[in-house]
Structure 1
Amino acid sequence: MAPGGGICKEVCESRSAFADYDVTTANLELRSSPFRKATTGVGGKHGMPSTSGVHELLECPVCMDLMHPPIHQCPNGHTLCSNCKARVHNCCPTCRFELGNIRCLALEKIAESLELPCRYQIFGCHDIFPYYSKLKHEQNCQFRPYSCPYAGAECSVTGDIPLLVMHLKDDHKVDMHDGCTFNHRYVKSNPQEVENATWMLTVFNCFGRQFCLHFEAFHLGMAPVYMAFLRFMGDENEARKFSYSLEVGGYGRKLIWQGVPRSIRDSHKMVRDSQDGLVIQRKLALFFSGGERQQLKLKVAGRIWKEQ
Structure 2
Amino acid sequence: MSHHGSPSLATDAPVTDTGIPPSNSFLVSLFECPVCFDSALPPILQCQNGHLVCSNCHPKLEICPTCRVPLGSIRNVALEKLANAVQFPCKYTFWGCERVLAHTDIAEHQVSCEFRSYTCPFPGVSCKWIGLMNAMVPHLMDQHRIVTTQQGEDTVFFASGILRPGTFDWVMVQCCFGFNFMVILHKVDRYGDQKFYAIVQLIGTFAQAQNFVYKLELHCPRQRLTWEAIPRSLQEGIETSMMAKECLMFNKSVAKLFAKNGNLSMNVNISRW
Aligned to 1:208: 178
Aligned residues, how many? 247
88 and 232 in structure 1: CA distance in 2 versus 1, 3 angstrom threshold? same
The answer as to 2:267 corresponding to 1:276 is no
Aligned to 2:229: 259
In structure 2, what is the Cα distance between the partners aligned to 1:247 and 1:182? 11
More helix per residue:
1
Contact 2:112-2:205 within 8 A present in 1 as well? no
Aligned to 1:52: 25
275 and 41 in structure 1: CA distance in 2 versus 1, 3 angstrom threshold? farther
Contact 1:247-1:300 within 8 A present in 2 as well? yes
Larger radius of gyration: 1
Aligned partner of residue 183 in structure 2, secondary structure: strand
Task: Could you tell me which runs of 5 or more consecutive residues in structure 2 were left unpaired when the two chains were aligned.
Answer: 1-15
* Overall identity of the aligned pairs, in %: 24
The answer as to 2:272 corresponding to 1:306 is yes
- 1:110 CA drift (Å): 3.9
Amino acid across the alignment from 1:171: Q
The answer as to 2:112 corresponding to 1:137 is no
Aligned to 1:128: 101
The answer as to 2:198 corresponding to 1:228 is yes
Greater alpha carbon shift after TM alignment, 230-239 vs 247-256 = 247-256
Greater alpha carbon shift after TM alignment, 118-127 vs 149-158 = 118-127
- 1:136 CA drift (Å): 4.1
In structure 1, what is the Cα distance between the partners aligned to 2:68 and 2:151? 62
Contact 1:118-1:134 within 8 A present in 2 as well? no
118 and 91 in structure 1: CA distance in 2 versus 1, 3 angstrom threshold? closer
TM-score by length of 2: 0.69
The CA RMSD over aligned residues, in Å, is: 3.9
Amino acid across the alignment from 2:20: M
In structure 1, what is the Cα distance between the partners aligned to 2:181 and 2:241? 14
Amino acid across the alignment from 2:212: F
Contact 1:41-1:117 within 8 A present in 2 as well? no
Q: Deviations over 1:241-275 (max 9, x none)?
A: 22332222224423233333221222221122233
Aligned partner of residue 48 in structure 1, secondary structure: coil
263 and 60 in structure 1: CA distance in 2 versus 1, 3 angstrom threshold? closer
Aligned partner of residue 270 in structure 1, secondary structure: helix
The answer as to 2:38 corresponding to 1:65 is yes
Contact 1:41-1:128 within 8 A present in 2 as well? no
277 and 162 in structure 1: CA distance in 2 versus 1, 3 angstrom threshold? same
Q: After the TM superposition, which residues 148-187 of structure 1 pair with which residues of structure 2 at under 5 Å, given as runs?
A: 148-155=120-127, 157-180=129-152, 181-187=154-160
Greater alpha carbon shift after TM alignment, 168-177 vs 101-110 = 101-110
Amino acid across the alignment from 1:183: V
Aligned partner of residue 157 in structure 2, secondary structure: strand
Amino acid across the alignment from 2:159: Y
Q: Deviations over 1:158-213 (max 9, x none)?
A: 4332111222222233534241232233222744x4xx321121112222210001
Task: Could you tell me which runs of 5 or more consecutive residues in structure 1 were left unpaired when the two chains were aligned.
Answer: 1-39
In structure 2, what is the Cα distance between the partners aligned to 1:242 and 1:177? 19
In structure 2, what is the Cα distance between the partners aligned to 1:157 and 1:63? 20
Aligned to 1:5: none
Amino acid across the alignment from 2:184: H
- 1:112 CA drift (Å): 4.5
TM-score by length of 1: 0.63
In structure 1, what is the Cα distance between the partners aligned to 2:131 and 2:194? 35
105 and 238 in structure 1: CA distance in 2 versus 1, 3 angstrom threshold? closer
281 and 159 in structure 1: CA distance in 2 versus 1, 3 angstrom threshold? same
